[in-house]
Amino acid sequence: MIIVTGAYGLIGSNIVRALNQRGRSDIIAVDNLSNGQKFKNLVDCEVADFLDKHTFLDRVSKRSLFTSQHIDAIFHQGACSSTTEWDGKYMMQNNYEYSKAVLDYCLAFRIPLFYASSASVYGDGKTFQETREFESPLNVYGYSKFLFDQYVRQRVPLAVSQVVGLRYFNVYGAREQHKGSMASVAFHFNQQILNTGKLKLFEGCDGYGNGEQRRDFISVEDVVAVNLWLLDHPQISGVFNVGTGRSQTFNDVARAVIAWHGKGEIEYVPFPDHLRGCYQSFTQADINSLRKVGYDADFYTVEQGVKRYLDWLNRV
């Protein structure tokens, strides 16, 4: 049996789909379905059962989670991922305390754990390497991820089972429609072309020209591939960046969307005041740690990944 938290989200649902393709349907899908639109992400997938995230957390805390069944792994992808959420109490309970309970359960029963961290732990730095001196989050979401990574670092040296934290960079791809404003720019650009024919990008900031802010955009297909490769390599533990290792501009994403549709134009809009001082204008994963443990697959470029995504998103 495999448990996936955040199973109806972008990454979680794609992990479930990939596990199905491996012949696994003994999957417990854990999530908060207050946003009922998310159910669509697993309609074409097979799972053995569903648990509300609060029920799951209660069972984990009481050590009463499927004690009669063997759990092969937990993919802990569930979290509040809003970088504009400033309710620190909620964020720490939902992201930090929840994750601690899952980790403690996994360590107690020697269950491999793969959990979602975030590139937001690096803040506005220019070096994205998995070491303490480069970690300085700009918002409480990033802080919740950073603090849990720190907690994991204390526990991993004593762990007898696999524990892997994955610092996702800018993930885009299939099954993200439910995310609203937090969906990827590729999703929003596609909708803008369909609705108005114009793609809206921020004007320049932090020394970057219009639309030239750079991010490490990674396809969810690549993210899932990394997760499953690590599942297949139980000797590997640690915290790893999951990005392509190359930054590309928002203009690159916009041009890729325009190329797919064969139409559209870019419009630059003023940079929002509420994002000043808490916005990453540049991210680029240092993936040397991931390469050193043996992951050698190529990653899609924006041009390749966006085309594959729009083929899926705009399928008839």
Instruction: Identify the sign of the CA torsion 127, 118, 227, 172.
Output: negative
Q: Tell me which of 8, 98, 122, 141 is the catalytic residue.
A: 141
Residue 300 to residue 218: CA distance in whole angstroms: 7
Catalytic residue among 179, 208, 279, 307: 179
Q: Taking a C-beta distance cutoff of 8 angstroms, is the pair 200, 127 a contact? A: no
Distance separating alpha carbons of residues 168 and 301, to the nearest angstrom: 16
CA-to-CA distance for 14 and 8, rounded, in angstroms? 9
Cα 142 to Cα 187: distance, rounded to the nearest angstrom: 23
- State how far the Cα of 78 lies from the Cα of 217, in Å rounded to an integer: 20
CB 141 within 8 A of CB 88: no
Residue position matching structure tokens 């991922």: 81
CA separation for the pair 215, 248 (Å, rounded): 6
Is residue 179 annotated as part of the catalytic site, yes or no?
yes
141: annotated active-site residue: yes
Beta bridge partners of 5: 30, 76
Distance, in Å, from the CA atom of 172 to the CA atom of 302, rounded to the nearest integer, reads 10
Beta strands in the chain (DSSP E): 2-5, 27-31, 49-52, 73-76, 113-118, 163-168, 170-172, 198-202, 214-215, 217-219, 238-242, 248-249, 265-269
Distance CA 178, CA 298 (A): 28
- Which residues touch 292 (CB under 8 Å, ≥6 apart)? none
Q: Which of the residues are catalytic?
A: 141, 179
